Amino acid sequence: MPGRTDGLARIRLVIADDQAMIRTGLRFVAESAADIEVVGEAVDGLEALSVTRRLRPDVLLMDIAMPRLDGLGAARRLLSDPHPPRIVMLTTFDTDENLHASLRAGVNGFLLKTSPPEQLIEAVRVAAAGDALIDPAAAMRVIASFTAHHRPVAPPELATLTSRELEVLRLLARGLSNPEIARRLQVGDATIRTHVARVLHKLGLRDRIQAVVFAYEAGVVRPGQRDRSC
């Protein structure tokens, strides 16, 4: 793994997008962070497979809509590998069904191509750390697209959450990061990390993305509903 001059390991990132200008912009943003190194690029899903399997990056930042093999197809194949990378998907909102399918496939985040630079950097860091991040607007649209046709059902596991843990789950479902939740609830980041870990453990969930899906399917939050702590 390439080393930094300060001796700390960088997050190794591969970028996959069929538009050269987008790739250049994403590389510029990513490498503005001292702890991220772009080690490769791909112009479509098939190249994303080969580049990712050859270079074994920590994180793959990949567009959904690409020629030959789209991002969803590439993600499914990579996630079936013995040691898959963490995958953050890029979207322009034109394929809600694919976004939902990506959630189910187990990707580690969604970003809009219009997301601010700091959010892209945060998504890469969060994914590399083993967690997941969804752009709040993307979360709202994706979840609304499949909850519109399903009546929410509260599973029994929901009753195991404390009132504070339920509040944290609601904010997770709105796409807030741990620091944002900490500021909203006026507690420390470490306290929120503990609450998030307990929520995931009690509900048997892998990461924040699964928590978002759970919250909407269980009726904890609903599309268009404002959270009460606003």
The CATH number linked to 180 is 1.10.10.10
**Cβ distance 124 to 36 under 8 Å?**
yes
Q: Are residue 74 and residue 122 in the same domain, yes or no?
A: yes
Q: Are residues 21 and 131 in the same domain?
A: yes
**75 and 19 fall within a common domain:** yes
Q: What integer pLDDT is reported at residue 42 of this predicted model?
A: 97
* Bridge partner residues of 38 (DSSP): 13
Residue 229: inside a domain: no
Look at residue 207 and tell me whether its pLDDT is greater than 60: yes
Both 94 and 182 in a single domain? no
Is residue 157 one of the residues assigned to a domain? yes
222 assigned to some structural domain: no
Higher local confidence (pLDDT), 205 or 145: 205
Segment 33-85, tens digit of pLDDT? 999 999 999 999 999 999 999 999 999 999 988 999 989 899 999 999 999 99
Single residue among 120, 146, 172 that ends a domain in this structure:
146
Same domain, 142 and 156: no
Examine the domain organization and report whether 127 and 195 are in the same domain.
no
Of 146, 164, 180, the position where a domain reaches its end is 146
Above pLDDT 90, what percent of the chain?
51
Is there a domain that residue 6 lies in?
no
- Per-residue buried b or exposed e for 5-38, using 16+ beta carbons within 10 Å of the residue's own CB: eeeeebbbbbbbbbeeeebebbbebbeebeebbb
The pTM (predicted TM-score) of the whole model is 0.73
Of 89, 123, 146, which one is at a domain's C-terminal end? 146
User: In angstroms, what CA-CA distances link 92 with 22, 137, 146?
Assistant: 12, 11, 18
* Residue 100: inside a domain: yes
Count of domains observed in the chain? 2
Q: What is the mean pLDDT of the chain?
A: 84
Residue 226 lies in a domain: no
Q: Say yes or no: 133 and 157 in one domain.
A: no
Quick one: tokens of 120?
Answer: 């892209």
Q: Specify if 171 maps to a domain.
A: yes
Residues 44 and 100 grouped into a single domain: yes
Query: Which residue range forms the structural domain that includes residue 65?
Result: 11-146
β-bridge partners, 63: 90
Both 33 and 136 in a single domain? yes
Give yes or no: residues 116 and 168 share one domain: no
pLDDT score for 110:
81
> Which of 113, 8, 4, 107 is closest to 59 using CA atoms?
107
Q: Show Cβ contacts of residue 62 under 8 Å, excluding neighbours closer than 6 positions.
A: 15, 16, 17, 42, 45, 48, 71, 74, 75, 87, 88, 89, 90
Residue 224 lies in a domain: no
Q: How large is the average pLDDT for residues 123-132? A: 87
At 86-100, the pLDDT tens digits run 999 988 764 556 666
Three-state DSSP state, 115 = coil
Same domain, 103 and 178: no
Percent of residues in the chain assigned helix, strand, coil, to nearest 5: 50, 15, 35
The predicted-structure confidence for 167-201, as pLDDT tens digits, reads as follows 999 998 877 888 889 999 999 999 999 999 999 99
CATH number of the CATH domain containing 40: 3.40.50.2300
Q: Are residues 66 and 97 in the same domain?
A: yes
Q: Which two tokens stand for residue 164?
A: 């504070």
